[in-house]
Amino acid sequence: MSDGPAATGSGPLTGRALVPGAAEGAVLYSSEPLSFWGGYDAETGEIIDRRHPLAGRIGTGRIMAIPATRGSSTTTAILLEAIRRGTAPAAFLTRGPDTFLALAAIVAAELYGRAPPVVALSPSDFDALRTTPHARVEATGVVMPI
């Protein structure tokens, strides 16, 4: 990791907006991938995988920073239901592209007219989120730690 602004969390992080959109909120960070199938309760927004570091935390309205999803395409179905119910995270920040998150957001935009932004970051920019308590995601893929 570099000693520049991104490493300290003081400057913007630039990623690739897989699903553009804007969001702001508390950052829920984990270095471990998450399976939404059996790992996320679409009714409550709680992370229910008891082996995951974020177990018991609520993802609703948060900027969820996970390196990737784990498991099958059922992740897309669970996330789509959470978006429909209003219990999904406000945005997703990943370490590289994640097709399951992007697919769920794209389908939600078509079905419900709303979707959380999905931004793929470089590994070093993703790791800089470890100490970022709050962030703003811009439609261009810029993530501003605040």
The yes-or-no answer on residue 72 being catalytic is yes
Give the chain's end-to-end CA distance (angstroms, integer).
20
**3-state class of 109 per DSSP?**
helix
Q: How buried is residue 99: exposed, middle or buried, by Cβ count under 10 Å (0-12/13-18/19+)?
A: middle
Question: Is the CB of residue 91 less than 8 Å from the CB of residue 118?
Answer: yes
- Token pair listed for 142: 């810029």
Q: Among the residues of 12-120, which ranges form H helices?
A: 74-85, 99-112
Select which of 2, 10, 31, 72 is catalytic.
Answer: 72
Question: Is the CB of residue 27 less than 8 Å from the CB of residue 63?
Answer: yes
Phi, psi angle pair for 70, to nearest 5°: -125, 145
Q: Which residues are catalytic?
A: 72
